[in-house]
């Protein structure tokens, strides 16, 4: 790491999806995969689903970087973006913050007391956008992904790859058995986040997500966005719906301008120093 490990951090969460957020605008933060795993370890480290750094950016409020608990750097994290957006808005006394990420520009706006809306940009819907190993209809995949899933699955990129299965009811045992296998399926050269969505109405979805590199989490912001987009493309829901995850609820809007906006809470758990 290019600066001492002993530096301040904030432990934050968005609906239970938790993060170690490191301020890196004054000193570089470039952890190795092993160092990320040590921080994320819930027994010997701080414990989190993702590690996030806030860095200086050109023409934006900050640049953000995300690492999954397995040490891999990823392009996007919806709940983490919401938490960082809240921090930036608090720091500058504004209702608006712009962040640069590997997935592009992310815009956060204040939506209430500790509620933040994030414009997650436009979804990637082509097979190369996901990316997939070969050409497929991303609305309804033509390849079986797991013997337990007759449902073919739908694919969406929200800056990171997602496959969504629509199920009649949510079963955590199914998520835990199917998720890690599909995550590493050859169709997904970069791996994939695996969502299991139960459509409860035109405006409501229940969701569990097996996150690539993190496993089953309390909430997945990009997963909620992907589930709404996939459901709307199949005609199962309208383009705005509440997505209920284990940690709470997110409002997802797939607007007429093709941008996906996610609204939900951000919380600070505690402050500390990296060991």
Q: Which of the four pLDDT bands, split at 50, 70 and 90, describes residue 7?
A: confident
Residue 269 shares a structural domain with residue 242:
no
Among 153, 149, 150, CA closest to 132:
153
Residue 181 shares a structural domain with residue 110:
no
Query: Which entry of 48, 83, 220, 225 is annotated as an active-site residue?
Result: 220
CATH number of the domain within which 227 lies = 3.10.310.10
Task: Assess if residue 129 is contained within a domain.
Answer: no
pLDDT score of 4 more than 50: no
Residue 103 shares a structural domain with residue 161:
no
Residue 93 shares a structural domain with residue 165:
no
Task: Assess if residue 16 is contained within a domain.
Answer: yes
Residue 13 shares a structural domain with residue 113:
yes
Overall domain count for the chain:
2
Q: Which of the four pLDDT bands, split at 50, 70 and 90, describes residue 1?
A: very low
pLDDT score of 238 more than 60: yes
Residue 166 shares a structural domain with residue 223:
yes
Task: Assess if residue 134 is contained within a domain.
Answer: no
Residue 128: C-alpha distances to residues 170, 188, 224 (Å): 29, 10, 21
Query: Which entry of 48, 77, 155, 225 is annotated as an active-site residue?
Result: 77
Q: What is the pLDDT of residues 11-51, one digit of tens each?
A: 999 999 999 999 999 889 999 999 999 999 999 999 999 99
- Mean pLDDT of the region 5-11: 85
Q: What pLDDT is attached to residue 6?
A: 72
Task: Assess if residue 139 is contained within a domain.
Answer: no
Q: What pLDDT is attached to residue 50?
A: 97
220 is catalytic: yes
Q: What pLDDT is attached to residue 5?
A: 54
């Amino acid at each position: 790491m290019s600066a001492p490990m002993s530096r301040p951090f904030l432990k934050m969460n968005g609906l239970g999806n938790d993060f170690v957020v490191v301020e890196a605008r004054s000193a570089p933060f470039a952890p190795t995969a092993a160092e990320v795993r040590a921080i994320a370890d819930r027994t010997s480290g701080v414990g989190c689903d993702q590690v996030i750094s806030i860095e200086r950016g050109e023409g934006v409020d900050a640049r953000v970087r995300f690492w999954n608990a397995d040490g891999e750097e990823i392009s996007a994290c919806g709940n983490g973006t919401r938490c960082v957006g809240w921090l930036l808005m608090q720091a500058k006394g504004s209702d608006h913050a712009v962040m640069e990420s590997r997935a592009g520009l992310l815009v956060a706006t204040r939506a209430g007391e500790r509620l933040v809306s994030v414009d997650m940009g436009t979804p990637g819907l082509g097979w190369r956008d996901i990316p997939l190993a070969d050409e497929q209809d991303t609305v309804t995949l033509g390849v079986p992904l797991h013997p337990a899933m007759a449902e073919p699955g739908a694919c969406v990129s929200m800056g990171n790859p997602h496959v969504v299965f629509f199920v009649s009811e949510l079963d955590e045992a199914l998520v835990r058995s199917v998720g890690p296998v599909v995550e590493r399926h050859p169709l997904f050269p970069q791996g994939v986040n695996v969502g299991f969505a139960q459509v409860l109405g035109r405006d409501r979805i229940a969701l569990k997500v097996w996150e690539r590199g993190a496993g089953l989490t309390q909430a997945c912001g990009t997963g909620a966005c992907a589930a709404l987009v996939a459901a709307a493309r199949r005609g199962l829901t309208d383009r705005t719906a509440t997505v209920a995850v284990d940690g709470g609820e997110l409002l997802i809007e797939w607007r007429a301008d093709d941008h996906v906006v996610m609204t939900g809470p951000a919380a600070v758990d505690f402050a500390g120093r990296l060991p």
